[in-house]
Amino acid sequence: MFVGDSISKDQYESLICILHSAVPNTNYSLSTSDGKIDIFELTEYGIKVMRNQNVYLVDLVQEKVGHVLRLDSIQGGKLWLGIDVLVFNTFHWWNRKTWDYIEFRGNYVKDLDHIVALNIALRTWAGWVRANINPQNTTVFFQGLSPTHYNGSMWNETKADRCIGQTEPVLGTKYPGGIPPELAVQKGAIESLSDVIKFFDTTNLSLFRKDGHPSKFNPNGATGGVDCLHWCLPGVPDTWNEILYNLIIA
Ligand SMILES: *[C@@H]1O[C@H](CO)[C@@H](O)[C@H](O)[C@H]1NC(C)=O
Ligand SMILES: *[C@@H]1O[C@H](CO)[C@@H](O)[C@H](O)[C@H]1NC(C)=O
Ligand SMILES: *[C@@H]1O[C@H](CO)[C@@H](O)[C@H](O)[C@H]1NC(C)=O
Ligand SMILES: *[C@@H]1O[C@H](CO)[C@@H](O)[C@H](O)[C@H]1NC(C)=O
């Protein structure tokens, strides 16, 4: 099961396409459970691949005061029990203030530095994993952050219009824009759980792929967006899945 934002959806769709193309003649089904979990099933093989949309991992709830992001609450975790392999991701929504308040240990604040909030939430999540996951039954991965390519200065092409017209990866071995600071926060927050959680670091390789986004060919282009955030499946998400597969069988 993939849990996270729409980046997890890219990876889920990539994986089900890979599986289907490996066994094109077997029966498959696509369904949704409670509107919260997408399920792809290869019935003959008894395999399910699932996706749970949950952008912060901790809970965003409606209270009298408005929308509250509860950094110390993770009721959404009920949906993650009893799964063989869990792959988590959270990153893109921490910069989007979708809450009226952030709550932590009973204190409410209007806002909090997004890196601080992410750090607290990931520690809550790590605590949930420690308390609820038996490593003998479940393998847990945390996926590094998935970078965007909206700013050409990050790859020394100041005149670039976002990722439009990019046809090659950034060349070389060092990404000029550097590694986003949130990655260190993610690694730090789950360090103490390295016996239970495997960090599946997709950040570095994805940073180089300024050519891998839907760009102006975004199927949701009606919303006016140039998409340099999601990925075309046959590139980056397929690579993540190849790596994930090797980590699972290792
Ligand atoms: C984990 O697996 C063991 C056997 O392998 C089983 O006895 C136990 O109930 C499982 N625990 C959970 C939480 O599923
Ligand atoms: C792009 O990045 C550079 C260097 O970090 C920064 O100075 C500039 O403001 C950014 N441009 C935009 C449009 O965000
Ligand atoms: C990008 O530009 C900086 C500043 O001019 C330079 O130090 C760096 O070597 C360049 N990197 C690449 C990959 O071209
Ligand atoms: C990122 O990838 C480059 C090229 O393989 C490598 O030299 C560098 O050490 C990597 N950095 C991190 C933080 O993994």
pLDDT tens per residue across span 195-211 = 999 998 999 999 999 99
Band of the pLDDT at 230, cuts 50, 70, 90?
Answer: very high
Q: Is 170 helix (H, G, I), strand (E, B) or coil?
A: coil
pLDDT at 35: 83
Q: Are 83 and 51 in contact (CB under 8 A)?
A: no
pLDDT band at residue 224 under the 50/70/90 scheme: low
Q: Does the beta carbon of 151 lie inside 6 Å of ligand 2? A: yes
With a 6 A CB cut-off, is 156 part of the ligand 2 pocket? Answer: no
Instruction: Among the bound ligands, name the one nearest to the CA of residue 135.
Output: 1
Separation of alpha carbons 221 and 165, rounded Å? 16
Does residue 131 have its Cβ closer than 6 Å to ligand 1?
no
Is the confidence at residue 222, as pLDDT, over 60? no
In this structure, the residues whose C-beta lies within 6 A of any atom of ligand 3 are 156, 172, 176
Pairing state between β 37-42 and 28-33: antiparallel
For atom 14 of ligand 2, the residue with the nearest CA is: 151
Quote the ligand 1 centre to 129 CA distance (angstroms). 15
Q: Report the pLDDT averaged over residues 134-152.
A: 95
Is the pLDDT score of 10 beyond 90? yes
Pocket test for ligand 4, best of 170, 171, 174, 206 (most atoms within 8 A of CB): 174
With a CB cutoff of 8 Å and minimum separation 6, the contacts of 153 are: 177
pLDDT per residue as tens digits for the range 110-129: 999 999 999 999 999 999 99
- What is the rounded distance in angstroms from the CA atom of residue 104 to the CA atom of residue 209? 37
Task: Please report how many Cα atoms fall inside a 13 Å half-sphere around the Cα of residue 210, on the Cβ side.
Answer: 24
Q: Which atom of ligand 4 is nearest to the CA of 179?
A: 13
Please tell me the distance between residue 173's alpha carbon and the centre of ligand 4 in angstroms. Answer: 7
Please check the confidence at residue 225 and state whether its pLDDT lies above 90.
no
pLDDT value at residue 235: 87
**Residue 227, strand partner residues:** 215
For ligand 4, mutation pick of 145, 204, 209, 243 (most atoms within 8 Å of CB): 204
Quick: pLDDT tens for 50-109.
Answer: 999 999 999 999 999 999 999 999 999 999 999 999 999 999 999 999 999 999 999 999
Looking at all shown ligands, the one closest to residue 137's CA atom is 1
Quote the pLDDT of residue 147. 96
Question: How do residues 148-188 score in pLDDT, each as one tens digit?
Answer: 999 999 999 999 999 999 999 999 999 999 999 999 999 99
